Structure formats: C-alpha cells, structure tokens
Chain A
Amino acid sequence: MTDVRHATPVGVTEGYRRISPKVTRDGDIALIDATGVYYEQLNAAVRGAIADGATTVRIEGVNGQRYIGAGIRAPGVRIEAYGTAGNDSAMFADGAEIHVFGNAQDGIGNTMSSGRVVVHGDAGDVLGYGMRGGRILVKGDVGYRVGIHMKAFEKDVPVVVCGGKARDFFGEYMAGGVLVLLGMETQFPEQPLVGGFVGTGMHGGVIYLRGAVEAWQCGGEVGVSTATAEDLASLRPHVEEWAGAFDADADEILAGPFTRLAPMSHRPYGKLYASL
C-alpha cells in the first residue's frame, strides 16, 4: 500500500487537490491562494510562511479546509482566512490571531490554549470545546454545544463572545471561563436567544446572556440572576473587545439587560453517587 499522505500530489482528495498553494510575499505579509487546495498542503504553506518570518498570513479562496491555524504556536502572528473556514480550524491554537472573513464550520477553537480567533460571520457546533485559554469572538450566530467544557486554570481564562443566537447546550459542562451571547447579529430574529439545556452540567465559569432565559432553558446546575453593576463591569472588557472587532458600540450593547448564569456548585453530582 502506498502511504497516500506522502504520495505525489495527484488526483483529487475529498474534493481538493493535493498541490502546494501559490504563495506570494509582500513584505511581512504572505498571501496564499487556497482555492481547491487540500488542507495538508495549505497548512504546510501557512507554517512555512510563518517559519519564513511572515507576521501576517492571508489565505484567500478558503472553502472548508480543515485545521486552519491548528496547533500553531505563534504569538504575534496574524492569520486571515477569506471564505468558509473548515472544521477544527484554530484547534489547539496557541498564541496566533486568527481571523475568518466568512463563516466558520464546526469545532472552531477546539481545545485552544491561547491567542484570539475572530469569526466575521457565523460559526457552527461545538465552538470552543475544552478551551483552556485565549478568546473567540464570533460576529453572528453559533450552533449547538458552544463553549462545551471550557475550563480555567490560574491565569488561563478563556473567553467566547458570540454576537448572534445559539442553539441547545450552550456552555454545557462548563468548568471555567467566560461565555457571552449577545443575540444581536442574527439571521434568526424570530427565534429565542438561546435553545435549551443552557449550562447543563456547568460547574465553573460564568455565562452572560444579553436578554432573559426561562427556567426550562437552563440546566439544573446553574443559578440564574440579573447581572449586577459589578458583573457588568467585569463583562465590559469582553464586550468592548467584541465591539472593537466588529465596529459596534460597546455602551449600547452593555445598556441591554444581561442575565448571569453561574454554577450553584463546583461539585454538582456529589450526591448522585453512593459507595457500593
């Protein structure tokens, strides 16, 4: 059997071609044309450009390529993806600033360590799964299970701010960090801010929702309250960052009523078990 990963890049794989993308340099900027290029060659080109000293990697013609910026440990580097970023983009990201000018598919920022991801569109399911640091800013709507099992440790406190609406299981199992939902930039104006099972299994961190939720929407492990002035003060920098990224007015956003969801216990299932 031929090892396809190292085979001569011919033919088509998953609708892409295994060819190295065209890379051009303009000073510190590397310009990559990703049109039709398989992720393996695309991401190799991104890593190559960074190794060659590029501080901005601009990728055009992105359409579904996976792992864009995944595992890259490059503080100070900016990666721009134009098009639809594929699944698991920015996975394990550690330091880079990753912009998606378009929509992002599922699993963005999966197990991310640090850096910043900015999605200038909508994002799919399982955004920020197991995220332990860094920030994700999404302009529009997000899917199911966003912020699932975000966690915090000492100075590593991940932040996710979504400008649109979210589906079920928002902040499921959340163990730390800050998860914000604004409900403003949405293609679903008629639908509720967020689905059901919000913060189900939550045992750390905090969720801020711009608007109200009904009791049935929330997991049994969360306490629901109206955000206080103190809460809003702690929320302000995150909202300002989102507003800065998407050219919005932070004061106007913060003027809306916010609901705060926090776990009632750090050990929600302490009483569920008994010794045999």
Chain B
Amino acid sequence: MQQTYVQPEFRVKIDYDKCHKCGRCVQQCGWGVYDFNERPLPHDEKCRACHRCVTYCPAHCITIEKNTLAFRDNDNWSADARKAVWRQADTGGVLLTSMGNPRPYERIFDKLVLDACQVTNPSIDPLREPMELRTFLGRKPDSVAVEMDGKGGYRLAEGAGMKNNVELAVPLIFGPMSYGSVSLNVHRSLALAAERLGILMNTGEGGLHEDLYPYQDNVIVQVASGRFGVTPELLQRGAAIEIKIGQGAKPGIGGHLPGEKVDREVSATRMIPQGSDAISPAPHHDIYSIEDLRQLIFALKEASGYKTVGVKIAAVHNVAAIASGIVRAGADYIYLDGFRGGTGAAPAVVRDHIGIPVEIAIAAVDQRLRDEGIRNQASIIAAGSIRSSADMAKAIALGADVVAIGTAALLSLGCHLCQSCHTGNCSWGITTQKPELTRRIDPEWGAARLTNLVNAWSHELQEILGALGVNAVESLRGSRERLRAIGLGEQTCRILGVKPAGM
C-alpha cells in the first residue's frame, strides 16, 4: 500500500535514562501511541499532543515536540494546506475535525479594552461592597403594571410582572454538549457544578440521562433537528428548553455522532439503536420559516407549561435580521454561537470558513433589537469562544445578557484542545464512551474544578465591574461606551458601536 505523504505532526521523546519502565504511558494513552517491549516505544504518527502521558508519567521523562520538518517556503501553500491535499488524495474523504476554529482570523475581543473610574466617579471595592451578578434569563414584559395594595404600598397587578425567567447567580452558563459527544461523567460534572453555582448546564441534543434528573432545575434541555431523547418528560424536566437551529462550529449542517460512541446508555438516552450513527438533519424539517419556528416554540411552551424557550443559532451574515425574526416568533432568549465555537465533530472546511465572530453578532443583534424596541423580549446568550472573564465582560458590554462556555469548561476537566473529539478516543475521558477512559473523570472532582473556574471568573468580573464603578452586572450590559477599540477598522468599530481608544 502506498505510504501516506503526511508525516507525523509530533515527535514523542522519552528520556530512557529517567524512564521507570512502568508502562504508565501505555496505559494512559487513548490513541495507542505506545508499544511496550521492556520499555515504551512510541509511534509518533498516532500522537495528538494531548499530554495525558506527559502529565501522568511519574518520571517526567516524556516530551512532545513539533515535528519541524522544513517545507519549501510558500505563504500561499502552507504546510497545512499541502497536508490536507495529500490526506484527501489518500482517502477521498471530507476532513473531519473537532473543537473550535483555530485559524488566525482577527480576534476582536483581543482588540477591545475596558474602561475604569478615576476620580470623577469612585471605583467600587468588589470584595467588601455588594457586587451583583444575578441575571434573569428570559423574556421581560414591556412594563410592570402595579396597583395599590391597600396598605400604602404597591403590588403587581393581576398577571403582571416578569414570568418564567430562569434566575442565574452569575451571567454565565455551560454551553450545550451532548451526552454521546461527551461522557456521562462529564454531564454529571456539569450538572453538579451548575447546581452548586446556581447556573445552568445544557444537555445538547442528546437528551437527558436519568442520572441527571435530580439536577433538572439547573438544566436546559435541547431540542435539535434529530429530536434525540425528546419526550414530554424531557420537556417537563428542564428549567428551560432550547431549540438548536445551528452551531457556531458548523453553521448550516447537522450533527453526526459516530456509531462507535453510541453505547447502551447513549442509545437509551437518545432512543436509537446501540451502535448506530446518530445523525441530525441539517435543518429542522418542521422549520422552513420564521412562522414554522413560532409554531415549534409554542408547541414546546404548550407541552412544558410555558417554560422559557430559547433558540440557538450560529452567528452568520444576516444574524441581526434573523434574530429579530426569532424574537418576534416568541423566543425568550437567543443563543448566538460565534464561528470560533467548539464542536465534537465537524468538517474542517465548514468549521474554518463559515460564520462570523460572536463579537460582531452580539453588537448587531443587540442594536437591531433595541432599534426595533423589542430588546426586552428576549435575553441574549453569547458563546463561541469565551476564553476568560475579560471576554465575558466584553461580551456583556457589547450587549449580551449571559455568556456560555463549552471549550473553557472542558479545558477545566483536562481537555488539551487536541481537536480529536470525533475519534472517541479522548485520553482525558471527556469525549469518549469507552469505560476505561470515561472513568478518568470523577464527577465530584470535575464539579469542583468547574466550580473553581466559574467562581474565579465571577470574582474577576466583579473586579472589572468595581473598576468601572458599577455594582450590578446589568449596568455593564450593552454599555459599549465602556469599551474602546485598539487597531480595529472604522467600519468594524461602527458595527460594534465602539469608539477607538482616545475618543
């Protein structure tokens, strides 16, 4: 058989002088990199640089290096471009990958800076003074109708006030990652953490495993085009319901969970035969228009006792008009997933070339909804790629109510962004269903790490708010005046509604 032209991306180097010959690396590697014959013998071509072996080697004798083969310089034909052609010539296949778009598009978050108070307004000390992050997810009424309560005060008029909103302790939730793409222990970790943090996790499109029923008040249940695991029970159990139209990593295409990841539990939760591929159609075949979306939204409300129903879309070119239609269709929140959002599996061509940055989408949607006077009718959740509390603060300042994190949550559980989730061999036990791997995540441990991460970001957001001289996160929301751009073009600044630094 013809040898592939694609050379190994990494070199696994073992310092055999230090090596204990214990075989831990062999046992830890989910990719089958190591043979063992008196000492571990690596096969470089299988390595994904996930660092599981490096982390667990008791002798610290393993290093992973880039295989820095020289290619004749060509700015046009990068090494990656050449390798992709060879790989496709080898196989005839669509190149599959995972996690978010890694390409060097402009990162707008990194070109925005936040304001702080000096003299004219006091900054506020977030450690000692109240610094409120509580946020309500859902539709707000146009106004609050009140009546006298007969005791000199006021009360809500009959039927008035905010209805069916989900209370979040911080403006951050875990993004949808389906059981199937990730392991049940990951779902358990997310659910436990969501409960402890007073936030939400999201089932993704794979249904809700019954082990998560105790956490149902902290779970968004998702209804996607494949309708996996969607039953009246699921709708009853969620704190909110989300219609997944699209995903930032793969706008316009459906999900595909390979049969290898569909074990007994996954099959039971998704309600499909064990071992069969779980394929989601590209569109919902009952939604070909905004009117159809409205029909599904209200079907879900009817079936769930009028819970909060949100709609998740990928950020695409005409996102503002689409969002306006979604709000008018009755959605209580819009989830905007930017083109850097992660995935458990997507064609590389789609992941890397379709969609727009979430920063642009937030600003465009927030502005459009304000202009149309319907901003109060839906919350905006922003995701696709919130990497830090700074991104969270900037997203909120651009107009988001809440941010969602997926990749950051998985990183806290050990993910090293090796972009190989679709293989089902995740050595960290995250995106796999192999029992010997999934047991590497203990839900208690996972929940503790997720809780640490969110608490740390919450503290940092409070520090930012304090520096801005405000003590409630709603005062940051849509407050683009507190942002400035460094090195963004005039047109981008205009779309973002942000002035350049110095103005």
Contacts and interface: CB of A to CB of B under 8 A. Distances in A.
Is the pairing of A and B real? yes
Interface of A: 169, 172-173, 197, 200-201, 219, 269, 272, 274
Pick the 7 closest A-B CB pairs, nearest first: A201-B128, A200-B128, A172-B128, A201-B127, A173-B128, A269-B127, A272-B459
A274 B459 CA distance: 12
A201 B125 contact: yes
Main DSSP-derived SS at the B contact region: loop
A197 B128 contact: yes
A151 to B, nearest CB: 15
Nearest to A202: B128
Given A173-B125, A201-B128, A272-B459, 14 more contacts: A169-B128, A169-B129, A172-B128, A172-B129, A173-B128, A197-B129, A197-B130, A200-B128, A201-B125, A201-B127, A219-B128, A269-B127, A272-B127, A274-B456
Nearest to B459: A272
Nearest to A200: B128
A173 B125 CA distance: 10
A200 B129 contact: yes
A197 B130 CA distance: 8
Contacts of B128: 169, 172-173, 197, 200-201, 219
A258 B219 CA distance: 46
Nearest to A148: B128
Contacts of B127: 201, 269, 272
Nearest to A196: B130
18 contacts: A169-B128, A169-B129, A172-B128, A172-B129, A173-B125, A197-B128, A197-B129, A197-B130, A200-B128, A200-B129, A201-B125, A201-B127, A201-B128, A219-B128, A269-B127, A272-B127, A272-B459, A274-B456
Contacts of B459: 272
A172 B130 CA distance: 12
Interface of B: 125, 127-130, 456, 459
B127 to A, nearest CB: 6
Contacts of A169: 128-129
Contacts of A219: 128
A53 B295 CA distance: 90
Contacts of B130: 197
Contacts of B125: 173, 201
A64 B298 CA distance: 64
Nearest to A173: B128
B471 to A, nearest CB: 12
B94 to A, nearest CB: 40
B500 to A, nearest CB: 29
Nearest to A199: B128
Nearest to B455: A272
A197 B127 CA distance: 11
Contacts of A200: 128-129
A257 to B, nearest CB: 27
* B127, B128, B456, B459, most chain A CB atoms within 10 A: B128
Nearest to A268: B127
A169 B124 CA distance: 13
B170 to A, nearest CB: 16
B451 to A, nearest CB: 14
Contacts of A201: 125, 127-128
Contacts of B129: 169, 172, 197, 200
A64 to B, nearest CB: 23
B461 to A, nearest CB: 14
A272 B127 CA distance: 10
A16 B129 CA distance: 36
Nearest to A272: B459
Contacts of A274: 456
A172 B127 CA distance: 10
A274 B460 CA distance: 12
A261 B459 CA distance: 25
A219 B125 CA distance: 13
A169 B127 CA distance: 12
A172 B459 CA distance: 19
Contacts of A272: 127, 459
A254 B459 CA distance: 41
Contacts of A269: 127
A169 B130 CA distance: 10
B453 to A, nearest CB: 11
A134 B137 CA distance: 52
Nearest to A201: B128
Nearest to B128: A201
A64 B127 CA distance: 33
A219 B459 CA distance: 16
A14 B125 CA distance: 32
A169 B128 CA distance: 9
Contacts of A173: 125, 128
A42 B459 CA distance: 47
A173 B124 CA distance: 13
A169 B129 CA distance: 8
B460 to A, nearest CB: 10
A125 to B, nearest CB: 13
Nearest to B130: A197
A269 B130 CA distance: 16
* B125, B127, B456, most chain A CB atoms within 10 A: B127
A45 to B, nearest CB: 32
A243 to B, nearest CB: 32
A152 B181 CA distance: 58
A169 to B, nearest CB: 7
B284 to A, nearest CB: 44
A173 B129 CA distance: 10
A13 B123 CA distance: 30
A201 B459 CA distance: 15
A147 to B, nearest CB: 13
B388 to A, nearest CB: 12
A162 to B, nearest CB: 20
A104 B129 CA distance: 25
B122 to A, nearest CB: 12
A219 to B, nearest CB: 7
A197 B128 CA distance: 8
A223 B129 CA distance: 18
A100 to B, nearest CB: 26
A261 B129 CA distance: 18
A197 B456 CA distance: 22
A168 B99 CA distance: 48
B455 to A, nearest CB: 9
A187 B301 CA distance: 54
Nearest to B452: A274
A197 B459 CA distance: 18
B31 to A, nearest CB: 31
A160 to B, nearest CB: 18
Nearest to A149: B128
A233 B459 CA distance: 40
Nearest to A274: B456
A173 B126 CA distance: 12
